Structure 1
Amino acid sequence: MKLTSTMSGYRALALAALLAIPALGSAQNAPLERALSQLSAQRSRLGLSELDLTNPAVTNQYTDKHNGVTHIYLRQRHEGIEILNAVADAHVTSAGKVTALHSSFLPNVATAARATKPTLTPAQAVEAAARALQVAAPRGLNAEVAATPAEGLTFTDGGISQDKIKAKLVYLPVAGGELRLVYDVLLWPTRSDDAWSVRVDAATGALVDKYSYTVHEPVTFAQLTERAVQVMKLPEAAPTQASKVNVPNSYNVWPITVESPNHGARQVVATPADAVASPFGWHDENGVAGNEYTITRGNNVHAYDDRNNRNVYIASQNLSPDGGANLEFNFPYDPAARQVGNLKLSITNLFYWNNLLHDIMFRKGFTEASANFQQMNYTGQGLGNDQVKAEGQDGGGTNNANFSTPPDGTRGKMQMYNWSAAPGSLIVASPASVAGTYPAGLADFGRTVNSLGANYRGKLVLVNDGSAKPSRGCNGPFLNPAALNGNIAVVDRGKCSFASKVQFAQAAGARMVVVVDTTGAATVGGMTGASPDTVGLRIPAVFIPQGLGDRLKQAMEGGGIVMVGGTGGAGPDGDFDNGIVAHEYGHGISNRLTGGGTGACLPTSTNGLPNETMGEGWSDFFALWMTTKPGDVGTTPRGIGTYAGNEPTTGGGIRRKRYTTDFTVNNHTYAFIGTGAGQYSATHDVGEVWATVLWDLNWALINKYGYNADLTAATGGNNIALQLVLDGCKLQKCIPGFLDGRNAILKADSLNNRAANSALIWQVFARRGMGFNAVQGTASVGDNTAGFELPTVLSTQKVLSEKLVEVYPNPAADQLTVRTQVSSKVPVQVELVTVLGRTVLATSASAAHIQAEGVRLNTTELANGIYVVRLTTSEGTITKKVMVQH
């Protein structure tokens, strides 16, 4: 009887679901039936009634060609109305096995839902949403196709939205367990960066909740940049003219793997569109041979400038560069020019990289069916009308970028901003004879030049301290305070400390100080100040070479007014930092693949608590992966955003630590999450830890399988790694945590490679504290516990591989660190022995200590040469060679 009842309930469930999607063919029905049967079979474990499982909506279903897995995404319904955030995903192999199933379906929905009929119409709901966002009421609002409120209606933009407005009647779970009947309105105000999901009460129109589909980089993005920039910017390449060689269908850009103008030269790339991913090229939109556009617009992306922050493309007001009938996008580059001087090249580079990302990720399974970004879906699968709008040199901000990922069927948007000139730069605005941006040394006291604001302009004024050498500024108060007040004091080096000069200038009312070197050196370093000299200093100061100082003084003495600007000079253009472009596009990838295209399964917080949000981590990984070139090695530290941040290629970038497999440089582990007074609860900090372990995985697979320069191929460790990461996004639950992500990658390897890399994956994750004994808790930050152990089957083999022990640095000079993730029931004995077998150093530590922190051996007194590290555990002995070299 029990079996009959279960099957009867399942059949009703399956029939209702299949009726909800009549377009599905029989080939698709079989995996869906399997998924629904499995969900019904687990009803008791999930605490659900048969009624709770009745008639779920299938929000997406597709089958991956590379492994035959069918991914099915469901949303719970009551009385035919969908319930927001109540979702399930099931993944069925080609053999019909449900290999993964997750559910957040809610129990007792019939009791929790207190209304089934709305009072407002969908159009009235749109008006209510507009009021809630404090934008004008819509005008001429018309529905495109007749539909019921529960099916959802698509309206015109009403003159208030950047895209079409959508409204759907849904239930929203609220505090206390109630299901509130609301309209979910997708509204993207014309003057807003945010694409909003606005939830208004279906009876009163009152705002109940709202959710932004836009991933913003936080304000600390700029602060991190400022903190990292403590070095001179590398000299830019000389201006380059466009190549005179006529190459049809070509783009003169920084091509694939070249991260920025600092990382390599421009090249003319001909016919780069992938024949599988973009079969009609990059300028098509109708799926018929022949280009619809000769500007930077096509099926995958429309790139244009938005310098005036209009958030919309108007042909007469925005630039979308034209390559002519032959599609030759070949424009000059002048690194010394203001951004507008390189605008055509900037937008072309943005267009090229967005298309590259589309094509490469398409080959790895981010296809039309899996909710990628295309205006027309050539296969007819998935929803079209959602090319990326890539807005270059966006006027909506500086030192930043963002990406909006509304649900499948609504266009994504990337906004790339200009970045400030380096804090270590002096920007001379006028006169023309000395205008330019010059390298300058920084002070380790006071504030930075950026603190003056982008629009600051001040006159240079030479100080007079009343001494025999009045421009030294060592005697106070100065004799010309009226001239200095609100302007920029110029002082010469010598006699007194830098800080003393700045103190006197500040007292005279100066807003900034320019210190001129007097040694004749061609370049200068920074300025230091010792307490108590620096106490109370609030104005910025920079240090410039004598040659530049003499030129500025000459212009001043000639009666000219020399004006120096704040940060509004020609800083880097974010459109040329290809790593940041890839990072932003990466938000679209992870948001669309997780949860089947809803764009809402990676919230940064839930119920006010920060989540283990991995979105920033996936995006950093994509940025690093797309810019890895043949010959690179995993131990090389790599920063994110070094070009945008005015740093050399070896700079620290805009993250806490550079990415590398070298644990001495980047020691991020799962233990960092939610620790240090919340230091690792912010979105980017949490994402850094996730990107670190993905980067380790990438290099572990490259070390095993090699690097393949063909980034569309299936072979090579780098391609295998990317495939696992993308498939992991598809297989994980909605609102995942770190261990959910780890398990999804392990599952992907079992499906793609018959678990050939399972041991390697466990080793990589265990090394960073996401081992077998790690505990995730919820997906919120702070209830996790790091664990460094390997699964028993890997850590109890009597013949243990040297790959399970890590020694660094190697060669070692004064200290050697030894780590392993192997378990041991007794203290681990650690020895350093000569090649002749003589023990020269020995210690012991618990398995937990050596897994998490390792042990350190003092090698200061050892002779140079080759030694062997020997670890003795209850599970076996491991040895590994190491060199000592002082």
Structure 2
Amino acid sequence: MKKITLLFVLSSFLSFAQSNTDKIQSYLNENHQKFDLTKADVSDWVVESTSNSTASNVDIYYVLQRYQGIEIFRGLSNFAIKNGDVIYVGNRFVSHVSEKINTTTPLISMQTALNKAYIDAGITNHEPFLVLESGSNHKATLSNGIGIEEPVLANLVFQQTKQNLKLAWDFTFYTPKHDHGWSVRIDATNGQVLEKNDIVISCHFDKTNSCHESSFEKNTFDLNFHKKNNSILNTTNVLGGSYRVIPFNYESPSHSPFQLVTNPEDATASPKGWHDTNTLTGNVASFKYTITRGNNVWSRTDYSATNPTVGSTTITANGYSPDGGASLVFDFPYSGTSVAANNSVKAACTNLFYMNNISHDVWQHYGFDEASGNFQQTNYSNVSGASDFVYGDAQDGSTLSPTPSMNNANFSTPVDGQKPRMQMFLWSVAPQLKPLIVTSPSVIAGDYYAKQNSFSPGHVDLPLAPNFIQSDLVKYDDGTPDVGQTDNADGCGAAVNAAAINGHIAIIRRSTSAANGGAPCAFTEKVKNAQNAGAIAVIIVDNVDATYPIGMSGADATITIPAIAVTKAVGDLIFAKMALGTVNVKLQLPANYTPFVNSDGDFDNGIIAHEYGHGISTRLTGGKNNSSCLQNTDQAGEGWSDWFALMLQLKPGDVSTTPHGIGTFVYSEPVTGGGIRDYPYTTDMTVNPMTYNTTNSYQYMDTNGLEQTEIHGTGSVWTTVLWDLTWAYINKYGYNDNKYTGTGGNNKLMRIVLDGLKLQPCSPSFVDSRNAIIAADQAITGGVDYCMIWEVFARRGLGVNASAGDTNVGNDQVADFTTPPAGPNCTLGTTNFDQNSLFEVYPNPSNGIYNLRINNFVGKITTQVVDINGRIVLNTTEDFNIEKELNISSLQSGIYILKIMGEKINYATKIIKN
């Protein structure tokens, strides 16, 4: 989309746009000091994009700050205008710009800088970069040099650092497999990498904690889950289809049987149906498809991760899409998880196509429309930014050798008019079994989790109950100690104790990795060596701490004995008892065991909706022409996406306190499983106790020794808050199962949240996102639910005094559980906020002696002091009577988080020790 500046606007909108830009300039002239800006700071800017809210009649302008015509990267502020007045501002302008600029003249060329960006991204082989298009204001489009579809987008910008603004070349480009889409700033004076962000959001859905199962009953299928909009456009030659899929309000094959759904397209959002890319009046035959391709998405295979741009009719080839024929009937069988996933690839592409289209159609009604940058090949309203349907890559990377892409999903969201891509992978997480039964000694007797190997060939199943293999365990000894171990048990050489192993179950250690100085061998080699020594089965013990047993792959057709893996914790326990005496075990699969090969993320509607949600939140935050506004640490990106998934899963009869786990299908859990987040989503704080304080606990050190934030954990805190808010709305206004045009509480909040995404500033904190939702309610309803919203946010620690700290630091957030004074339309309740007594901590900063005061509180409290690395450096529990002294004079100077917990008390604040 071409940018609107103060001097040049599209002629058809001249008077309206000019009036609003004048309003913005007037507002900045009158209020710049409030934002610590000078008049010069607000005198050079450009409207990067616009959006609107039909529910609130608000127009939103995304304004990019410049200096001498050069844009300041992420210097993006948004202005909401209603009835000619600026009603809300998300300010991200940089103050005192002229004092921070290093230069306005680049010393290295655009192509030289791009080459340095490629080298940093690991791309060393490429053709010369050619300038395909050179626009005004220092922008250009270059060839990518690596033969993929997307060109390189380039721009000369100022990159913000802690103290200065450095002239930089800004590039956006994809790697050959599209596993990364790099947004990079290269210093235009010396070629150094100033910042690099990935616009491909990978959702590994790592499970860090075990969640308890819930007492949840499976819902029966509701034939009316597709509610039709009665406002149907008069279009010609619109043909609906039939699709055998998991209905969108059910998460997976574990939650519902497949159903043949007919004509699910929404007439308002997709007036030409799902397979036609013509304009409203067009009827060109070549613009119509009978495969899983249309105006909103093209779903196809990408087995070897080549990102095809041309389709194929060969089912084993990249770019294959199933054909529904002239009648568009996509009725294909699903073979389950006990056979290779490619047996169900037609069904996979169909379900992926269906769920992307559902996401497009539903969220169009709440504001993710053409004006706001939705994903369509053809825009029916003639706004710019078309040609950006979603590439839906099914079973992506599943045939890559030696390591297929597994246990992941991702979504890349470039700017409007550039095609996004959803890559869905297979999953190798087998159902958790306890086939290892320790019979003696009694102190460790019991059933233990273990995982069968996936050798192919060479896999041998354990016997099904009532059959079993049983013997005393014998530790394998190859005569050579492994690095880091005191025994010779890694099984990489012939056994020197073959006589002892013969006729017994051998237990072997996993080898130390080569990176750690070891000389590892394949799992198949270990098993074959044990087999040669006469072992009747093998147990492999992991050598690193892990929640689940490691997966063992390989190929050896001569292996004839079963082999399983156990965690290091289980193995260490067994080894310890073997050192004291004999350990006897029995190996046995349950009688109802079903083999497992893979689960396919293409059948997990929750994951698909989650990934699509990344596209929505990225396009709406900062406007459709900016994809760099959800890359800060303290932001809710993953949280928005989980919420998008949950909202489509709502059904009549659901209860707010029922725990809802995300991703139970791909993790081979029952539908009552806890899912892949730390806690399942529920309004019950005894089950999900997350508050804003919890966001401070998701820091970790990466392999380079740099502190990072686990974004899925942080995001799940935001989803928890929004899920509480969802049920507050449903409890007040009722639930409506018409996800498209209903008027229930769920529908009301869907509109408010999308408007909130449009209103929140670039690089938002949780606090910014909270404020934007409150502003959206104010704009739409006049603040009818002001108090209810505040009560929900305060309950989870996002009260009026909550502090985000630095939005690029992940562990300096401070929760607050207080609500503001009541608004004009409500009276704040008090029953849920007994914990919001007045807290005082003074003096702050201090030399280490603080007074803690909790008005009107007498009882037992726990006081914790947490350093910036998340370590608890003080932890006391004692009786409290209104006031006490806190002494941390022995600690080093710095910033700490003070936490106070007790009955109905959960408070945290930042303290500074001089």
Category of TM-score, reference length = shorter chain: 0.7 to 0.9
Contact in 2 for aligned 1:819/1:851 (Cα 8 Å) = no
User: Which residue in 2 is equivalent to 1:792?
Assistant: 821
Task: Give the aligned residue type for 1:668.
Answer: M
User: Which residue in 1 is equivalent to 2:15?
Assistant: 26
Distance 1:362 1:193 in 2: 28
**TM-score, length of structure 2 as denominator length:** 0.71
User: Which residue in 2 is equivalent to 1:407?
Assistant: 415
Task: Give the aligned residue type for 1:386.
Answer: D
Q: Percent identity?
A: 34
Q: Which of 1 and 2 has higher RCO (CA within 8 Å, sep 6+)?
A: 2
User: Which residue in 2 is equivalent to 1:620?
Assistant: 642
Contact in 2 for aligned 1:55/1:80 (Cα 8 Å) = yes
User: Which residue in 2 is equivalent to 1:297?
Assistant: 293
CA deviation map 1:601-646 (0-9, x unaligned): 44454xxxxx222111111111111111111111110000000100
Task: Give the aligned residue type for 2:260.
Answer: V
Assess, with a 3 A threshold, how the Cα gap between structure 1 residues 355 and 705 changes in structure 2: closer, same or farther.
same
User: Which residue in 2 is equivalent to 1:259?
Assistant: 251
Q: Quick check: 1:590 aligned with 2:577? A: no
User: Which residue in 2 is equivalent to 1:473?
Assistant: 471
Q: Quick check: 1:750 aligned with 2:778? A: yes
User: Which residue in 1 is equivalent to 2:271?
Assistant: 279
Assess, with a 3 A threshold, how the Cα gap between structure 1 residues 56 and 166 changes in structure 2: closer, same or farther.
same
CA deviation map 1:528-571 (0-9, x unaligned): 9799545399999995347699xxxxxxxxxxxxxx99xxx522
Contact in 1 for aligned 2:51/2:623 (Cα 8 Å) = no
Distance 2:5 2:904 in 1: 60
Name the SS for the 1:827 alignment partner: strand
Contact in 2 for aligned 1:446/1:541 (Cα 8 Å) = no
Contact in 1 for aligned 2:468/2:588 (Cα 8 Å) = no
Instruction: Output aligned runs, 1:156-175, within 5 Å.
Output: 156-174=143-161
Q: Quick check: 1:760 aligned with 2:756? A: no
CA deviation map 1:671-691 (0-9, x unaligned): 222148769952111111110
Distance 1:123 1:678 in 2: 36
Deviates more, 1:69-78 or 1:98-107: 98-107
Unaligned 5+ segments in structure 1 are 1-13, 238-246, 426-438, 463-468, 490-499, 515-525, 550-563, 606-610, 807-817, 831-842, 857-886
User: Which residue in 1 is equivalent to 2:483?
Assistant: none
Deviates more, 1:310-319 or 1:274-283: 310-319
Task: Give the aligned residue type for 1:735.
Answer: S
Assess, with a 3 A threshold, how the Cα gap between structure 1 residues 677 and 741 changes in structure 2: closer, same or farther.
closer
Task: Give the aligned residue type for 1:399.
Answer: N
Task: Give the aligned residue type for 2:335.
Answer: D
User: Which residue in 2 is equivalent to 1:349?
Assistant: 351
Assess, with a 3 A threshold, how the Cα gap between structure 1 residues 21 and 141 changes in structure 2: closer, same or farther.
farther
Q: Quick check: 1:110 aligned with 2:98? A: yes
User: Which residue in 2 is equivalent to 1:656?
Assistant: 678
Q: Quick check: 1:783 aligned with 2:832? A: no
Distance 1:759 1:667 in 2: 22
Name the SS for the 1:284 alignment partner: coil
Contact in 1 for aligned 2:491/2:508 (Cα 8 Å) = no
Task: Give the aligned residue type for 1:473.
Answer: S
Distance 2:103 2:155 in 1: 15
- What RMSD over aligned residues (CA atoms) do the two structures have, in Å? 4.6
Distance 2:163 2:719 in 1: 37
Contact in 2 for aligned 1:389/1:411 (Cα 8 Å) = yes
Name the SS for the 1:793 alignment partner: coil
Assess, with a 3 A threshold, how the Cα gap between structure 1 residues 332 and 613 changes in structure 2: closer, same or farther.
same
Contact in 2 for aligned 1:805/1:820 (Cα 8 Å) = no
Equivalent residue in structure 2 for 1:397, among 392, 405, 410 = 405
Assess, with a 3 A threshold, how the Cα gap between structure 1 residues 314 and 53 changes in structure 2: closer, same or farther.
same
Deviates more, 1:354-363 or 1:526-535: 526-535
Instruction: Output aligned runs, 1:207-286, within 5 Å.
Output: 207-218=193-204, 221-224=205-208, 249-286=241-278
Distance 1:593 1:179 in 2: 27
Distance 1:347 1:151 in 2: 41
Equivalent residue in structure 1 for 2:74, among 60, 78, 85 = 85
Task: Give the aligned residue type for 1:703.
Answer: N
Assess, with a 3 A threshold, how the Cα gap between structure 1 residues 35 and 248 changes in structure 2: closer, same or farther.
closer
CA deviation map 1:216-255 (0-9, x unaligned): 235xx34549x56999xx99x9xxxxxxxxx961111111
Equivalent residue in structure 2 for 1:310, among 300, 306, 310 = 306
Contact in 1 for aligned 2:630/2:762 (Cα 8 Å) = no
Name the SS for the 2:599 alignment partner: coil
How far 1:109 moved relative to its partner?
Answer: 3.0
CA deviation map 1:757-810 (0-9, x unaligned): 11111111111111123233232322222111222337999x986xx435xxxx
Distance 1:845 1:642 in 2: 46
Distance 1:196 1:254 in 2: 34
Instruction: Output aligned runs, 1:388-467, within 5 Å.
Output: 388-395=390-397, 397-422=405-430, 424=432, 440=435, 457=458
Distance 2:811 2:649 in 1: 33
Q: Quick check: 1:147 aligned with 2:143? A: no
Assess, with a 3 A threshold, how the Cα gap between structure 1 residues 471 and 20 changes in structure 2: closer, same or farther.
closer
CA deviation map 1:471-530 (0-9, x unaligned): 631275799999x9689x9xxxxxxxxxx967599999578449xxxxxxxxxxx99979
Contact in 2 for aligned 1:708/1:718 (Cα 8 Å) = yes
Contact in 2 for aligned 1:112/1:178 (Cα 8 Å) = yes
User: Which residue in 1 is equivalent to 2:556?
Assistant: none
CA deviation map 1:17-36 (0-9, x unaligned): 24376674212222222122
Name the SS for the 1:473 alignment partner: strand
Deviates more, 1:788-797 or 1:665-674: 788-797
- Tell me which protein shows more helix as a share of its residues: 1
Task: Give the aligned residue type for 1:75.
Answer: L
Task: Give the aligned residue type for 1:34.
Answer: K
User: Which residue in 2 is equivalent to 1:325?
Assistant: 326
Contact in 1 for aligned 2:102/2:164 (Cα 8 Å) = no
Assess, with a 3 A threshold, how the Cα gap between structure 1 residues 829 and 721 changes in structure 2: closer, same or farther.
farther
Distance 2:657 2:343 in 1: 38
Assess, with a 3 A threshold, how the Cα gap between structure 1 residues 133 and 531 changes in structure 2: closer, same or farther.
closer
Contact in 2 for aligned 1:827/1:844 (Cα 8 Å) = no
Contact in 2 for aligned 1:821/1:851 (Cα 8 Å) = no
Assess, with a 3 A threshold, how the Cα gap between structure 1 residues 305 and 59 changes in structure 2: closer, same or farther.
same
Instruction: Output aligned runs, 1:183-222, within 5 Å.
Output: 183-202=169-188, 205=191, 207-218=193-204, 221-222=205-206
Deviates more, 1:446-455 or 1:161-170: 446-455
Q: Quick check: 1:805 aligned with 2:831? A: yes
How far 1:113 moved relative to its partner?
Answer: 3.2
**TM-score, length of structure 1 as denominator length:** 0.74
User: Which residue in 1 is equivalent to 2:849?
Assistant: none
Assess, with a 3 A threshold, how the Cα gap between structure 1 residues 208 and 541 changes in structure 2: closer, same or farther.
farther
Task: Give the aligned residue type for 1:403.
Answer: F
Assess, with a 3 A threshold, how the Cα gap between structure 1 residues 769 and 794 changes in structure 2: closer, same or farther.
farther
Distance 2:13 2:263 in 1: 37
CA deviation map 1:167-195 (0-9, x unaligned): 22222234541422x22222112234111
Distance 2:586 2:56 in 1: 59
Assess, with a 3 A threshold, how the Cα gap between structure 1 residues 725 and 399 changes in structure 2: closer, same or farther.
same
Q: Quick check: 1:72 aligned with 2:61? A: yes
Instruction: Output aligned runs, 1:492-571, within 5 Å.
Output: 509=530, 512-513=538-539, 533=574, 535=576, 543-545=587-589, 570-571=597-598
Task: Give the aligned residue type for 2:268.
Answer: V
Equivalent residue in structure 2 for 1:646, among 660, 663, 668 = 668
Task: Give the aligned residue type for 1:741.
Answer: S
Name the SS for the 2:73 alignment partner: strand
How far 1:650 moved relative to its partner?
Answer: 0.6
Distance 1:345 1:447 in 2: 36
How far 1:146 moved relative to its partner?
Answer: 4.5
User: Which residue in 1 is equivalent to 2:723?
Assistant: 695
Assess, with a 3 A threshold, how the Cα gap between structure 1 residues 315 and 47 changes in structure 2: closer, same or farther.
same
